[in-house]
């Protein structure tokens, strides 16, 4: 083991979160050091969200709010403008203008790749990209100098490690998905194979009716699928559409700390009434409240957070996570043409027959259970957030070795305010950090670019201050 002369920050996961943490470290490097970015499924940049293969998979935030850097939209706009003059821009802009455009997600993935490379090219620090899966992390006896073990047996030593593991596949809602023939039950809706081998007239049932279902319905439509799509979710709600043009901002009167979820909802309703009297759309109210959610959420005791999840979450999510207008039009036409049916209800069970999956559905308010036969069931219940239930090797290793513990309500990981992982003993790690979707228990509103880009900047500053000093750590083997 050869000690290195420069510091090394290891980042596991090169989706938006890991890539932007790296980009901030590289951009602000005052002295040479190394950023080691580890990704099991290259390319480095897009992650799960922005690998979406089809042009109809659009961002659900207008371009003007999607710059990788928090200080303004120019960075993305400049890249788009340069791209627009090239041979294959990969997007079209209509009369709404570039700011209001909802870009293809895969194009955005290319932008994240570009952002990372650009930061690396201009930096005093070095970026090393490592393709592979990290399966365990061993800090030394004092909790410092983590050594990351990879699936192929190699190790990487660092001064600190950032877990930017992102969005896990959805949790199995019945606990028996795996028992149903794997070929008919798609446990991971983001797996490219999820819809392979389907007859174009067959029935596809999705568990969940949020944006992941929208992606699946758009993919099926794009592929010329003509069979019924049945979406079953507890409340039977579809995401609301975005408006085509940018909306005027609203200055919300909702406080950063509210007593309880019920009071928050009342305050939002009052705000919407005030806004609409001024001719302002409810969407502007939701967007104005969103930056306050972290402080509202953290002001609630765990009991109230749980109440929010039980009673208000579904309504909040369909208003907060909206569909791009183009996608909303396609979904509306699928519903009108009876090709997409949304059922409010609960899946009571599933079983496999010779040529289908029989799904038992209990409709909301109904006494009995009906059976729907589908050729494929796709789990669209949203990213898995319960670390105890993921099968991820690295997560299981961290929990088993008491280096991490689940976050509030079992969501993500527990951390301190800097994102340092809390060990099972309740003490913050001195060398392991996380951010992005894994902070859901702590912050709730922590999954979209506008929030994550702020976190990546803050964590990079904190790491640079704490770790980027001339120091020694072990080498790689």
Ligand X SMILES: Cc1cc2nc3c(=O)[nH]c(=O)nc-3n(C[C@H](O)[C@H](O)[C@H](O)COP(=O)(O)OP(=O)(O)OC[C@H]3O[C@@H](n4cnc5c(N)ncnc54)[C@H](O)[C@@H]3O)c2cc1C
Residues that bind ligand X (CB under 6 A): 12-18, 38-41, 47-49, 59-61, 105, 133-134, 164-167, 383, 394, 436-437, 447-449, 452
Q: 51: buried, middle or exposed (CB in 10 Å: 19+, 13-18, 0-12)?
A: middle
Longest dimension (CA), the chain: 70
Contact yes or no for 46/184 (Cβ under 8 A): no
Comparing CB distances to ligand X, the nearer of 218 and 361 is 218
Q: Using CA atoms, how far apart are residues 349 and 361, in angstroms rounded to an integer? A: 7
Decide whether 151 or 427 has the Cβ nearer to ligand X. Answer: 151
The residue among 403, 423, 463, 415 whose CA lies nearest residue 440 is: 415
Give the phi and the psi of residue 311 in degrees, each rounded to 5: -105, -30
Q: Which is nearer to ligand X, 45 or 261 (CB)?
A: 45
Specify the residue, 72 or 470, whose C-beta has the smaller distance to ligand X.
72
Distance of closest approach, residue 234 Cβ to ligand X, in angstroms: 20
State which residue has the least CB distance to ligand X. Answer: 166
- In terms of Cβ atoms closer than 10 Å to its own Cβ (0-12, 13-18, 19+), residue 3 is exposed
The residues with which 179 forms a beta bridge, in sequence order, are none
Shortest distance, position 470 Cβ to ligand X, whole Å:
28
Least Å distance, CB 124 to ligand X, is 25
Nearer to ligand X, 156 or 347 (CB): 156
Distance between CA 316 and CA 305 in Å, rounded? Answer: 13
Distances (CA, A) of 361 to 3, 232, 284, 347, 365: 60, 8, 36, 5, 12
Q: How far is the CB of 5 from ligand X (least distance, A)?
A: 26
Cα 125 off chain centre by: 28
In the three-class reduction of DSSP (H, G, I as helix; E, B as strand; rest coil), residue 61 is classed as coil
Shortest distance in whole angstroms from residue 392 CB to ligand X? 7
The beta strands (E) that lie in 61-131 are given as 126-131
Complex with ligand X: residue 383 or 423, whichever CB lies closer: 383
| Cα 358 from Cα 375, distance rounded (Å) | 9
- For ligand X, which is the closer residue by CB, 148 or 232? 148
Q: Which is nearer to ligand X, 156 or 452 (CB)?
A: 452
Residue 258 vs 327, nearer CB to ligand X: 327
Q: Give least dist CB 49 to ligand X, A.
A: 3
Query: Shortest approach of ligand X to residue 38 CB, angstroms?
Result: 5
| DSSP secondary structure, 272-305, as one string | HHHHHHTT--HHHHHHHHGGGHHHHHHHS-HHHH
The distance of closest approach from Cβ of residue 267 to ligand X in the complex, given in angstroms and rounded to an integer, is 25
Instruction: End-to-end CA distance of the chain: give it in Å, rounded.
Output: 7
For 69-132, list the strands marked E by DSSP.
126-131
- For residue 448, the minimal CB distance to ligand X (Å) is 3
Residue nearer to ligand X on the CB measure, 423 or 437: 437
- Listed residue (432, 420, 457) closest to 20, CA to CA: 457
Q: Which residue has the tokens 């290793």?
A: 397
Q: How far is the CB of 372 from ligand X (least distance, A)?
A: 25
Structure tokens at 39: 């990704």
Identify the helix (H) or strand (E) that includes residue 24.
helix 16-27
């Amino acid at each position: 083991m050869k000690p290195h002369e420069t510091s090394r920050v290891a980042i596991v996961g090169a989706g938006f979160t890991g890539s932007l943490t790296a980009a901030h470290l590289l951009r602000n490097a005052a002295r040479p050091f190394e950023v080691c970015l580890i990704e099991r499924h290259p390319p480095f940049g897009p992650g799960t969200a922005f690998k979406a293969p089809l042009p109809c998979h659009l961002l659900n935030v207008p371009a003007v709010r999607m710059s990788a850097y928090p200080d303004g939209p120019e960075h993305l706009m400049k890249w788009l403008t340069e791209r627009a003059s090239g041979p294959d821009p990969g997007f079209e802009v209509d009369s709404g203008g570039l700011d209001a455009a909802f870009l293809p997600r895969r194009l955005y993935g290319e932008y994240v790749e570009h952002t990372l490379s650009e930061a690396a090219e201009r930096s005093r620090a070095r970026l090393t990209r490592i393709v592979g899966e990290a399966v365990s992390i061993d800090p030394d006896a004092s909790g410092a100098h983590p050594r990351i073990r990879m699936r192929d047996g190699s190790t990487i030593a660092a001064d600190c490690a950032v877990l930017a593991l992102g969005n896990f596949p959805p949790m199995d809602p019945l606990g028996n998905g795996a028992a149903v023939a794997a070929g008919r039950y798609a446990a991971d809706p983001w797996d490219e194979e999820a819809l392979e081998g389907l007859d174009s007239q067959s029935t596809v049932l999705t568990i969940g009716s949020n944006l992941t279902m929208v992606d699946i319905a758009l993919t099926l439509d794009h592929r010329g699928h003509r069979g019924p799509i049945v979406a079953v979710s507890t409340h039977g709600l579809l995401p609301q559409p975005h408006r085509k043009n940018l909306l005027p901002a609203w200055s919300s009167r909702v406080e950063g700390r509210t007593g309880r979820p019920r009071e928050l909802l009342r305050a939002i309703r009052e705000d919407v009434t005030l806004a609409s009297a001024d001719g302002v759309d409810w969407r502007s109210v939701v967007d104005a409240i969103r930056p306050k959610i972290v402080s509202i959420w953290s002001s609630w005791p765990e009991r109230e957070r749980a109440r929010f999840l039980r009673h208000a979450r579904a309504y909040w999510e369909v208003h907060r996570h909206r569909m791009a207008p183009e996608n909303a039009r396609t979904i509306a036409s699928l519903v009108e043409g009876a090709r997409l049916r949304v059922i409010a209800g609960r899946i009571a069970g599933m079983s496999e027959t010779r040529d289908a999956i029989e799904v038992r559905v209990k409709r909301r308010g109904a006494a009995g259970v009906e059976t729907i036969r589908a050729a494929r069931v796709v789990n669209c219940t949203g990213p898995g957030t319960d670390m105890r239930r993921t099968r991820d090797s690295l997560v299981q290793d961290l929990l088993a070795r008491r280096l991490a513990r689940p976050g509030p309500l079992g969501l993500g990981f527990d951390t301190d305010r800097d994102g340092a992982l809390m060990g099972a003993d309740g003490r913050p790690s001195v060398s392991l950090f996380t951010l992005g979707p894994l902070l859901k228990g702590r912050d709730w509103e922590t999954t979209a670019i506008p929030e994550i880009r702020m976190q990546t900047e803050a964590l990079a500053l904190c790491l640079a201050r704490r770790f980027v000093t001339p120091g020694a750590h072990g080498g790689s083997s």
